Chains A and B, each alone.
Chain A
Amino acid sequence: MNNIRRGRVSRPANTADPSRPAPHLSTKVWALILGAAFLLLAGLTAWQYLGAKPAARAEVWVDGVLKQTLDLSADGEYRIESAEGWNLLTVSDGKIAVTAASCPDADCVRCGPQNSGPPIVCLPNRVSIRFTDSGGVDGAVR
Chain B
Amino acid sequence: MLLLLALSLAGCNLLPDASMQDRTVSDASIWAMDTQMDLRLYGDTDGTVMAELTAILNRLDHSLSATSPDSALTALNESGRTDDADVVYLASAAQTISAQTDGALDITLLPVSRLWGFGTDSYAVPEPAALDALRDRVGMDKLTVSDGAGSVSAGTMLDFGALAKGYAADLCRAKMEEAGIAGILSLGGNIQTVGTKPDGSDWIIGVQDPDDMGRYLLTLRLSGSASAVASGDYQRFFMQDGVRYCHILDPKTLSPVRGSLRSVTVVTDGGLKADGLSTALFVLGREAGIALWQSMGDFEAVWIEGDGTVWITPGLKDCVVEGSYQVIEP
Using CB atoms and an 8 Å cutoff, list the residues of chain A in contact with chain B.
2-12, 14-16, 37-38, 40-41, 44-46, 49-52, 61, 63-66, 104-105, 107, 110-112, 114, 116-121, 123, 126, 128, 130, 136-142
Query: If A15-B5, A142-B189 touch, does A5 touch B329 (CB 8 Å cutoff)?
Result: yes
The answer for the CA separation of A63 and B34 in the assembled complex, in Å, is 10
B155 contacts partner chain A, Cβ-Cβ < 8 Å? no
Query: If A6-B326, A9-B320, A12-B9 touch, does A138 touch B204 (CB 8 Å cutoff)?
Result: yes
Query: If A10-B322, A118-B213, A141-B230 touch, does A63 touch B31 (CB 8 Å cutoff)?
Result: yes
B229 contacts partner chain A, Cβ-Cβ < 8 Å? yes
Query: If A9-B320, A46-B322 touch, does A114 touch B214 (CB 8 Å cutoff)?
Result: yes
B89 contacts partner chain A, Cβ-Cβ < 8 Å? no
Using CB atoms and an 8 Å cutoff, list the residues of chain B in contact with chain A.
1-2, 4-6, 8-10, 29-32, 34-38, 40, 121, 123, 184, 186, 189-191, 193, 197, 203-208, 213-216, 219, 228-230, 235-238, 265, 290, 317, 320-330
Residues of A within 8 A of B230 (CB): 141-142
Residues of B within 8 A of A116 (CB): 214-215
The answer for the CA separation of A128 and B319 in the assembled complex, in Å, is 29
A139, B326: Cβ atoms closer than 8 Å:
no
Residues of A within 8 A of B327 (CB): 4-7
Residues of A within 8 A of B323 (CB): 8-9, 50
Q: Is the interface of B mostly helix, strand, loop or mixed?
A: strand
The residue from B206, B213, B214, B330 contacting A139, defined by CB atoms under 8 A apart: B206
Residues of A within 8 A of B29 (CB): 61, 64-66, 128
Instruction: Pick 10 A–B contacts, CB within 8 A, sort by A.
Output: A4-B328, A7-B324, A40-B2, A45-B322, A49-B321, A118-B208, A123-B34, A123-B236, A141-B191, A141-B228
Q: How far is the CB of A64 from chain B (nearest CB, A)?
A: 4
Query: If A117-B216, A139-B205, A140-B208 touch, does A11 touch B189 (CB 8 Å cutoff)?
Result: no
The residue from B35, B206, B237, B322 contacting A118, defined by CB atoms under 8 A apart: B206
A-B Cβ contacts below 8 A, count: 174
The answer for the CA separation of A116 and B35 in the assembled complex, in Å, is 20
The answer for the CA separation of A116 and B237 in the assembled complex, in Å, is 24
Closest B residue to A105 by CB, please name it.
B238
Closest B residue to A121 by CB, please name it.
B36
Residues of A within 8 A of B326 (CB): 4-7
The answer for the CA separation of A44 and B36 in the assembled complex, in Å, is 31
A140, B189: Cβ atoms closer than 8 Å:
yes
Residues of B within 8 A of A14 (CB): 5, 8-10
The residue from B10, B215, B328 contacting A2, defined by CB atoms under 8 A apart: B328
B8, A49: Cβ atoms closer than 8 Å:
no
Residues of A within 8 A of B36 (CB): 61, 64, 119, 121, 126, 128
Query: If A9-B321, A40-B2, A41-B5 touch, does A138 touch B213 (CB 8 Å cutoff)?
Result: no
Residues of B within 8 A of A11 (CB): 9, 320-322
Closest A residue to B40 by CB, please name it.
A138
